[in-house]
Structure 1
Amino acid sequence: MKSLSSKEGFLHRFVGFSESFPDQIAIKYLDAEEQTVTYRQLRNMAQGCNGVLKALDVVPGDNVALVLPNSVAFIAYYLAIIGRGAVPVILNHKLTPFEMSNVIGLAGPTLVVTTAALAVQHSELFHPDSGIRHTLVLEVGDEPAAALPAHATAVAQVPHEAEPLMLPEDNPVVSVQFTYRGLGKPLAVAHRYLDLTQSSDGLHEQFHLQGVGSVHLVTLPLYAIFGLSVMMVFPLSIGATLLMTNTLLNRDLAEVLSEHQVSFACLVPDVIRYFNTRLAKRKGALLPMHPKLMVYSGGSHLPADEAEKLGKLLGCNAVLQGYGLTESMPVIVQSSIGQVHRGAMGRAISGVDLRVVDAEGRDVARGRIGELLIRGSMVIDGYLDADDANARFWRDGWFHTGDLVWQNEDGHVFFYCQRLRISKIKAQMVDLTEIESIALKHPGVTRAKAYIVPDNKEVNVLHLCVEGSADLTQNAIATLLSRYLSGFKLPRTIEIIALKEVAHAS
């Protein structure tokens, strides 16, 4: 893995801001009666969390799983794990026990940091028999008290003292996350300290100047690399304020942006469509926004008309596209300073090279469609313990994304479609092979085919066709799928028919 020439990454910068701007607000949490946390307080909280980790015998190099919703506690423990020299394994807290067992088995954490409800839900997995020495239970939000499993420990029961954060040296792993590539199984991705910092720096080159006093709206899940890097690492490394909420859909977006003078916000396409519908019904004059408010879209492709519509309804510039992968962190973004190209995802940030190639690996001419290949210091060298996948997707130093795109004469990249058997539903990765493999667990199913069809609003909709015995029912298949898979992976329609070999868009 290539590294930066500078040895000071985002934790160095965060600690620096906690000393030079100690009273600057680091986090404003709207869901807890507008709880505010200064940079000094956040550093003190992280040092307290580090003391807890020390008391539980966490040592440098240990894998520590974070299974938490977006919260102040998530951020404090993430900083503490890095400041302990351990490795954060960041997991989607909404996974089913089946899905969780797959990623826990790959990650091999010695400690899990989670909530009481999740400790109970996954009690058979978060257990010493799985190699997990401790399950640390935090008080997060308004979660009701629950009887903890015998092997779980409430944080209040751990005697500890605050422990200073150890600043990373060189370029250690500071995040392990998971993705899918159409192989029917999760793949582990490790991100490194200076590379994650460089990715954030490259993004900043495309933005209006952000820093102390700027306010960033945080709504994307921090367990995903896009949320982690753009919504947490980036603002904390420049002294900005994170305006956090998990209840944005219950709020008036215009009021939130105006009241708190948000300067940067990133939303997923489905949320943008939702607020376009709501804001179109809003009465009265436009509310005053930050004069340089930038709204970005990430997670999946956003049609240009939806991007322009939100800008008009808010009284700001059109929403700008961004593009990234778990394997690469945000890679290309639409410049907010230069000329805007309608519908473009953007150009490569500093430190990233890209190519658009045909099926034989030859570069195509501008305006022609081909597969996007990328390389750079923030692009990982390969998946952990997955030689077959690495041989398939990394060749001659280039990562093959599976995305078909085209470039205009100015080098701006436009999305065409996804070539692999993966897609995004509600900005969450869906592996079609995984869904089919679960359907085939039913004894009456002999074949299964999952596919994506965009609806009339260009929103991806998941469908499943199965072939099986005469007594097979849609309810039986739906019940089976819901037992194993998260809600966003469940198909909208299930057809029980004799399958034909028909190519479907995915």
Structure 2
Amino acid sequence: MRTFSDQADRVARFAGALREFGVVDGERVGILSHNSDKYLEALLSVPWANGVVNPVNYRWSPAEIIYSLKESETEILLVDDTFAPVVSELRQGYEGLRVVVYMGDGPPPLEDAVGYEDLIAKTAPLADSVRGGDALAGLFYTGGTTGFPKGVMLSHANILISAFGSQASCPFVVPSGRTLHVAPMFHLADLAMWVAQLMLGGAHVVLPNFDPPAVMAAIDEHRVTNVVLVPSMVQMLVDHPELARFDLSSVRYIVYGAEPITEVLLRRAMSAFPQADFVQCYGMTELAPMATMLSGEDHRQGTRLRSAGRVVAHAEVRVVDQEGNEVPPGTIGEIVVRGGHVMLGYWHKPEATASALWDGWMHTGDGGYMDDDGYLFVADRIKDVIISGGENVYAAEVENAVAKHPAVAACAVVGVPDDRWGERVHAIVVVKPGAQKPTEEQIREHCKGLIAGYKSPRSVEFVDVLPISGTGKIDKRQLSEPYWADSPRNR
């Protein structure tokens, strides 16, 4: 446990060490590590030294990590015990990696590495560089689910505008509360929670990664008030057989997002945490990350649980057609956003930046619609729309129907090639433990009672577990790739 005073001293000392390593205006500093107190300190130390943080997705392969380090010209890398063994391979693939800082507690297990704690012990504190405003704060690489990762450039103003505007629009952290960090710290969702709790004061409880028993024990022991989870994490918590053994009554806010959640799962989670406000956040890395929020009150009313909520105070959101014209309420189009939280652009990718940021708006690539009361409903990624027999089918709608089958624990829907229909709706299903496995026809007929027949799955497969991407989402690319590998329309 550390006080704010303790942390401030350590941050200033590590910033001094970074300055001695040559961190000047805008030098990138990478962090390849599971969640830790040192990670949070580094997020403060890098801008304190006038640098730019590059949180590395630790779920990537070494080749992908090397690519991101090369592209961002990151020459200083912080690693923990888990990732120290890959440093040799990273050095072989990227000769520009000149400084490696070992974030463990003991002596560095690597040649040519320096110890984080040693640096703090021997380095004098550095005066804050007061980096802020429109200066680049960090490079946050996209998860890669729609192509090769791109470095999203976010300024300090981007991040703070999003945090202030979101908390003002829909409170999601408790002043002087306690935030539990279990989502990866390289992800903007966790960073947003961290910044909001810093603004309002309070404590940070850190777990290296998501583990249901450890999460429940931490909430119980430390009286956690706020936590951010992706739907797959929510599902693992509410399904855990020991859920009732822990006192989870301290939780005031459960923030979720990153992928659609089914109504069935959401209602189960709300029953498991009756004292908590559930807050859904829709956004993306490029928006630092908030665009809309569905409040706790909206959840309690229960009439718009499939909505992503209303626009936050710092943003403008529209739904437009292919020409950029706003469409009427209830009409599906592309979701576009503008405001002071929108990214500066993609690192070294002017063409990608121009295609995303045009006519003054960030084009999200997400399909959705607004209702008459200004609530946004997200349908699906536009380029992942399943076009079957000339009809557009949005996977989120089908997933919501499949999940209502009493034997279904989790599901994902993708488009796969079909000789007759071009693409067919294909469901991948995880059956609840102890439940009788339904047949493909039973899943199909169940869905036809909830959605149009052409939207119902034409094929179903059953798996033990759904793959998770580097950002904690269900990896639909991995699920669909085997079907498209030999197709002339291979995407």
Give the TM-score normalised by the residue count of structure 2.
0.74
- Residues 170, 213 of structure 1: CA spacing in aligned structure 2 closer, same or farther, 3 A cutoff? closer
Distance 1:69 1:400 in 2: 32
Q: CA deviation at 1:103?
A: 0.6
* Residue identity opposite 1:455 in structure 2: I
Cα deviation, residue 145, structure 1: 7.1
SS at structure 1 position matched to 2:368: strand
Give the match for residue 455 of structure 1: 428
Query: Structure 2 unaligned runs (5+)?
Result: 386-394, 397-413, 415-422, 433-471
Asked whether 1:289 is paired with 2:249, we answer yes
Contact 2:182 2:215 in 1 (8 A): no
| Aligned 1:88-99 pairs, distance under 5 A | 88-99=53-64
Extract unaligned runs of 5+ from structure 1: 1-35, 425-431, 433-449, 460-485
Residues 247-274 of structure 1 show CA distances to partners (whole Å, capped at 9, x for unaligned) of 5424175554454333322111101111
Matched, 1:79 2:44: yes
Tell me the equivalent position of 1:175: 138
Asked whether the equivalents of residues 136 and 156 of structure 2 are also in contact (C-alpha less than 8 Å), the reply is yes
2:197 matched to 1:235?
Answer: yes
Q: Confirm or deny: 8 A CA contact 1:119 1:126 kept in the other structure.
A: no
CA contact (8 A) 1:177 1:190 kept: yes
**1:224 corresponds to which residue?**
187
Distance 1:452 1:153, change over 3 A: farther
Tell me, yes or no, if the aligned pair for 1:97 and 1:121 is still in contact at 8 Å: yes
Equivalent of 2:75, from 110, 115, 128?
Answer: 110
* Secondary structure of residue in 1 paired with 2:54: strand
CA distance in 1, matches of 2:295, 2:12: 37
2:315 equivalent to 1:352: yes
Give the whole-Å Cα distance in 2 for the aligned partners of 1:86 and 1:252: 34
The answer as to whether partners of 1:70 and 1:221 remain within 8 angstroms in 2 is: yes
**Is 1:89–1:176's contact at 8 Å kept on the other side of the alignment?**
yes
Give the structure 2 partner of residue 61 of structure 1. Answer: 26
CA distance in 2, matches of 1:225, 1:487: 13
Amino acid at match of 2:238: N
Structure 2 partner of 1:320: 279
Secondary structure of 2:254's counterpart equals: strand
Identity of counterpart residues, as a percentage?
Answer: 19
Q: What's the offset of the Cα at 1:165? A: 2.6
Cα distance in structure 2, aligned partners of 1:256 and 1:117: 22
For residues 451 and 399 of structure 1, do their structure 2 counterparts lie closer, same or farther at Cα, with a shift above 3 Å needed?
Answer: farther
2:351 to 374, 377, 388: 388
| DSSP-derived class of the 1:499 partner | coil
- Partner residue of 2:228 out of 266, 289, 294: 266
**What amino acid is the match of 1:104?**
L
Mapped contact 2:346–2:353 kept (Cα < 8 A): yes
Task: Name the residue aligned to 1:333.
Answer: 293
Per the alignment, in what secondary structure is the counterpart of residue 266 of structure 1? strand
Cα 1:327–1:452 change in 2 (3 A) is: farther
Q: Which one-letter code corresponds to 1:274 in the other structure?
A: M
1:371 corresponds, among 331, 334, 339, to 334
Q: Kindly indicate which of the two structures has a greater share of residues assigned to helix.
A: 2
Q: Pairwise mapping of residues 374-453 of structure 1 onto structure 2 (< 5 A)?
A: 374-420=337-383
CA gap 1:224/1:173 in 2 versus in 1, 3 angstroms: same
**CA spacing shift, 1:209–1:364, aligned 2, 3 Å:** closer
Amino acid at match of 2:239: T
Residue from 115, 133, 136 that aligns with 1:154: 115
For the aligned residues, what is the CA RMSD?
3.6
1:476 aligned residue: none
1:188 Cα offset (Å): 1.1
CA contact (8 A) 1:200 1:229 kept: yes
Whole-Å separation in 2 of the counterparts to 1:421 and 1:309: 28
Does the alignment pair 1:51 with 2:16?
Answer: yes
Matched, 1:120 2:85: yes
User: How far apart are 1:487 and its partner, in Å?
Assistant: 12
Equivalent residue number for residue 499 of structure 1? 486
Aligned partner of 2:411 in structure 1 is none
In structure 1, the partner of 2:95 is 130
Q: By how many angstroms is 1:377 displaced?
A: 0.7
Task: Say which structure, 1 or 2, has more relative contact order (CA 8 Å, 6+ apart).
Answer: 1
Which residue is equivalent to 2:127? 164
Shift of 1:185: 1.9
CA distance 1:421–1:101, shift in 2 (3 Å): farther
CA–CA distance in structure 1, aligned partners of residues 248 and 110 of structure 2: 48
Give the equivalent residue in structure 1 for 2:167.
Answer: 204
Equivalent residue pairs, number: 412
Q: Distance in 2 between matches of 1:129 and 1:249?
A: 33
**2:240: which partner in 1?**
278
Write the deviation string for residues 180-223 of structure 1: whole angstroms up to 9, x where unpaired: 57663221111111221111111112344855431222211110
Question: 1:40 is matched with which residue?
Answer: 5
Greater Cα shift, 45-54 or 265-274: 45-54
Q: Distance in 1 between matches of 2:86 and 2:243?
A: 41
TM score, norm. by length of structure 1: 0.72
